């Protein structure tokens, strides 16, 4: 009886892991690695005292980090890219950051 329950639990666990991989195309380990890289990049951006990177969204897929959002200058755009590249596990950075215009136009 105990053996039947154990085999059943292992089977359900295997089905769960297979289902996760088939839905995203990534293994559970890859998903955990990507989440760790995303958290590390966000932490580095938040800790940077030279810039305010609160409007940057970070996403990671198989080690490729995508930075999306708005920064105030080209220097901040470059700085965010550099910080992301410093994180272990990052293989490439897609810098999609937009530079916010500081001029206000009156009609």
Extract the tokens encoding 92: 């490439």
Range of the domain at 54: 27-99
Alpha carbons 68 and 10: distance in angstroms, whole number: 40
CATH number at residue 48: 3.30.1340.30
pLDDT at site 38: 92
| Assigned domain for 83 exists | yes
Report CA dihedral (15, 18, 19, 23) to the nearest 10 degrees: 180
**Residue 60: what pLDDT?**
94
Q: Which residues contact 36 (CB under 8 A, 6 or more apart)?
A: 89
Q: Given this model, what pLDDT does residue 21 score?
A: 47
pLDDT tens by residue, the chain, 107 residues: 655 664 455 555 655 555 554 455 666 666 778 899 999 999 999 998 888 888 899 999 999 999 999 999 999 999 999 999 999 999 999 999 999 876 655 55
Number of domains forming the structure of the chain: 1
State the pLDDT at residue 73.
92
């Amino acid at each position: 009886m105990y053996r039947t329950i154990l085999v059943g639990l292992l089977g359900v666990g295997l089905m769960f892991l297979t289902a996760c991989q088939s839905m995203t195309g990534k293994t559970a380990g890859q998903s955990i690695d990507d989440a760790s890289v995303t958290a590390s990049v966000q932490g580095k951006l938040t800790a940077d005292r030279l810039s305010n990177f609160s409007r940057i969204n970070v996403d990671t897929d198989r080690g490729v980090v995508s930075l999306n959002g708005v920064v105030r200058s080209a220097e901040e755009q470059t700085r965010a890219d550099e910080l992301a590249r410093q994180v272990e596990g990052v293989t490439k950075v897609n810098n999609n950051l937009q530079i916010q215009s500081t001029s206000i136009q009156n009609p």
